[in-house]
Structure 1
């Protein structure tokens, strides 16, 4: 009887070990092809119960999920949303008009208004875009507001936040062979969204992608450089413009891409209608 008990125990132990090994192999295949050190890291993280992500092969669904977690942290701890459904819907309507004409139209974009008098806008991965009440008030018309939103969509289209997160994780020594701890990824994502400027290359690419998006959606292309020029001539240049490359350089590049004959051809240039609308909402 005792021999039979030990025989069955050994059988169960082998089955449990085979199942664990299969799980580890499956995890390794999902993340990437594991090296010996990679597999060791995965095993360690598995037993510690830490969820990791592989930024180099981040799928769209995982990007959206990570963006949602970053947004949750931002809304809970870093920013205050403007609690007026009408202005929120207005900004969302502009964003949703732009989305089908972007190069990543299938993301579940979320456009939100931040209760902040500073002139600012930012985005994080997965389709989350934020504009401040200060920026909405400063814009002369809907096309100028749409130009900022389209620029932020450009950052999402270019997956700039994902690349920045990878670079930041490497610099901080947080990126292991197995990948990046999801909690660390969320913390880096929050920091990138509100405190880290985009690179010169990312800003220029977002300008070009945003301009194309703006134009395809039927807004006047000239609104984008016009709004930048307005902000550049203010006493204090907004933080989101006071980064590299210089705003004057960006304006020159945008004007070179726009046909002067059609710069003001399109929707959203009625200043009086815009002022009347936001005065009732803000």
Structure 2
């Protein structure tokens, strides 16, 4: 009888030890860049794993970032329907030739005289009226739109978001909170420049898609040169899209002179009638 009691006691202690060990493994916080994932779970915060974002998730967060940009007054959306349709026409033409043609891209015009354009995750592209005014022809304007589309197709803002979240201590080992995704997305849209590597890749991909869409590739080179010639008053586009001289050299080497002027969008007078006259 004593032997049976002793055996049962040892079995019970063994089970308890196993449960306790398992509890430590399950409930011990994992190494993180910021808050532990346990804290976020207890607070009811949704944690986003940026590396596994689906297209649907990316679009949803892009919509939230867009809403916050408008709500906070970071930019003033244009109500010029005719101009918006023109920009949408360019955007649709290029995005359908991109590596993510099924992404529901949204193209918006911003009432701002500065020469600028930017993009956020989920297919949101923004073009300033100042940029429309600065372009000489549709190929030049289309080259900037193609560049911004490339930032989206290559998920540059998502990669940049991860780096910013880590540097600010906002990211756990399991991901980033939904509210931080939106907050950082707003920062990236209006303030933080892309890396040199991201800019060169967006130029390369954008140039490819520009040509596939039927636009003359020289438009990207001439507009980039125009930005470098602004002298003491560089356009706003250079604050978020740096390393312009190097990019001009890359594009010049990438475009075959024999086909540089082949394609649509080089009629300056048509651009004056169909775009600038709408401003």
Q: Which runs of 5+ in 2 are unaligned?
A: 1-25
2:209 matched to 1:213?
yes
Given that residues 197 and 240 in structure 1 are in contact (C-alpha distance below 8 angstroms), is that contact kept between their aligned partners in structure 2? no
- SS of residue paired to 2:100: coil
2:250 matched to 1:241?
no
Moved more, 229-238 or 265-274: 229-238
Please, what is the CA RMSD of the aligned residues? 1.9
Return the index of the structure with the highest Cα Rg. Answer: 2
1:244 Cα offset (Å): 6.9
1:193 Cα offset (Å): 0.6
Given that residues 54 and 180 in structure 1 are in contact (C-alpha distance below 8 angstroms), is that contact kept between their aligned partners in structure 2? yes
Given that residues 37 and 177 in structure 1 are in contact (C-alpha distance below 8 angstroms), is that contact kept between their aligned partners in structure 2? no
2-side partners of 1:226 and 1:132: how far apart? Answer: 19
Report what 1:82 is aligned to: 78
Report what 2:10 is aligned to: none
2:264 matched to 1:267?
yes
Report what 1:144 is aligned to: 140
Change (3 A) 1:87 1:243: closer
1:241 Cα offset (Å): 2.2
Report what 1:168 is aligned to: 164
2:251 matched to 1:254?
yes
Q: Which runs of 5+ in 1 are unaligned?
A: 1-33
Change (3 A) 1:146 1:174: same
- SS of residue paired to 1:87: helix
1:276 Cα offset (Å): 1.6
Report what 2:29 is aligned to: 37
TM-score by length of 1: 0.84
2-side partners of 1:112 and 1:193: how far apart? Answer: 14
Moved more, 152-161 or 170-179: 170-179
2:98 matched to 1:102?
yes
Given that residues 77 and 109 in structure 2 are in contact (C-alpha distance below 8 angstroms), is that contact kept between their aligned partners in structure 1? yes
Given that residues 139 and 227 in structure 1 are in contact (C-alpha distance below 8 angstroms), is that contact kept between their aligned partners in structure 2? yes
